[in-house]
Amino acid sequence: MKISEKNNDIIITDQPDFELSHIFDCGQCFRFNAGCDGSYTGTAFGHTVRISKRGNEIILHSVTYSEFDSVWRRFLDLDRDYGKIKAELTSSGDPVMIDAVKYGGGIRILNQDLWETMISFIISASNNIPRIKKIIEQLCRSFGEAHIYEGKTYYSFPSPQRIAELSLEDLSVIRAGFRDKYILQCARDTASGKIDLVRIKSLPTPAAKKELMSIYGIGNKVSDCILLFGLSRRDAFPVDVWIKRIMEYCYFNGRPQSIKTISDFAESKFGALGGMAQQYLFFYARERKIGI
């Protein structure tokens, strides 16, 4: 990977395994949106960036090297060798994984803010991606801090302290329905220190999962999403209704299986790369309408 700075842009070359639509349309984050020119613009950690691709160049527009190095380099997981990961996932000759990796070969798993990930995936429960994005955008517009990027106003994700000040009536503006009470309680418990984000980050994966599942509104699937996307635990394999159907279709000849059976199968088959495998499978199956 080569990095240069030109005209207030960061230009990255020689970085394989990076496709914008694969990264931002695979269901892992909800604050990046495609522009008519094929670029994606989004906000993370209080900063906004527009990213485009031109041939072998990945361009982060209107970003200083300091901001790139402190925020976007890790967020985009640029220092991880995805070629090695894909080779390991396909080394067994599994035809399903070979096709999935080939189809979604530009996926990278983003390293997102833990607090934002917790609330985002609480909102995701029994929801669809367009509506999740709309609720999160309204949450940020209503209660986040505004900043200007390329002449437009964007909003940071509101802190737990900011949300903790609200009432359920205040929060109803985001139209999250039954999830309002989960969001508010999570914010209040985090602001008070009852939920200790630093401590959760320090725990091994099984203990972190147990801690997350003790939080009001967080169940098995949401805890695994938080582990994978907010805590960078690449062994986590979230199983929702879609992954369940995909796994049944691809690995169990369409026969119904319990979530535990699928989770145990994924752990045995994919091991420490379970989260990577899940993202390749999800993107591949959704785009190809497999198991739907």
Q: Is residue 290 scored above 80 in pLDDT?
A: no
- Residue 73 sits in the same domain as residue 118: no
- Choose the final residue of a domain: 22, 52, 79: 79
Domain annotation covers residue 247 = yes
- Choose the final residue of a domain: 26, 56, 79: 79
State residue 287's pLDDT score.
Answer: 78
Active site positions, annotated? 221
Q: Is residue 203 scored above 80 in pLDDT?
A: yes
Report residue 22 CA to chain centroid gap.
12
Q: How far apart are CA 101 and CA 103, in angstroms?
A: 5
- Residue 245 sits in the same domain as residue 194: no
First to last CA, the chain: 38
- Residue 252 sits in the same domain as residue 191: no
State residue 8's pLDDT score.
Answer: 94
Residue type, 94: D
State residue 235's pLDDT score.
Answer: 93
The domain in which residue 178 lies consists of: 114-230
- pLDDT tens, 52-103? 999 999 999 999 999 999 999 999 999 999 999 999 999 999 999 999 999 9
- Residue 222 sits in the same domain as residue 251: no
- pLDDT tens, 125-177? 888 999 999 999 999 999 999 999 999 999 999 999 999 999 999 999 999 99
Asked whether the beta carbons of 187 and 146 are under 8 A apart, the reply is no
Q: Is residue 107 scored above 80 in pLDDT?
A: yes
Mean pLDDT for all residues in the chain:
95
Nearest residue to 230 via CA among 207, 209, 246? 209
| Model pTM above 0.85 | yes
- Residue 127 sits in the same domain as residue 20: no
- Residue 220 sits in the same domain as residue 268: no
- Residue 267 sits in the same domain as residue 207: no
Number of domains in the chain: 3
